[in-house]
Copies of this chain bind each other. A is one copy, B any other.
């Protein structure tokens, strides 16, 4: 199993690093992270850009799949769907908790619930990952 620190380091030069997202928990059935809503992660109106929330969740689900992969396999997201429910203001931090609906040999299905720091629901992202040979 990969450590949280090694995965965080792997992501650092990539898009999750650009956004500044932090992993806080990496378990086989649950991956948790935080994202501070910098102004440059916002849309008009000083609230978090929906795309930043989707990218944040997509990363958590990909990490979840990655750590569950058998040796010699890789993964890619085939589908992601998001319901946007509440806004998060610039300067606040959101928490994403990603849990598995399904961890199979050919597909995995993960759902990320993103909440504001005071526990208000911001978005729910459900995604399907395929498991592929290398």
- Choice from B15, B79, B132 contacting A41 with Cβ under 8 Å: B15
Count of A interface residues, CB-CB < 8 Å: 51
* Distance of A95 from chain B, by nearest CB (Å): 16
Are A128's CB and B42's CB within 8 A? no
* Chain B residues positioned under 8 Å from A62 (CB to CB): 43, 50
Are B41's CB and A51's CB within 8 A? no
Interchain CA distance A114-B105 in the complex, whole Å: 21
Q: With A40-B17, A102-B85 known to touch, is A128 a contact of B49 (CB < 8 Å)? A: no
Chain A interfacial positions (CB closer than 8 Å to B): 10, 13-18, 39-45, 49-52, 54-59, 62, 74, 76-87, 101-102, 104, 106-107, 109, 111, 121, 124, 126, 128, 130, 132
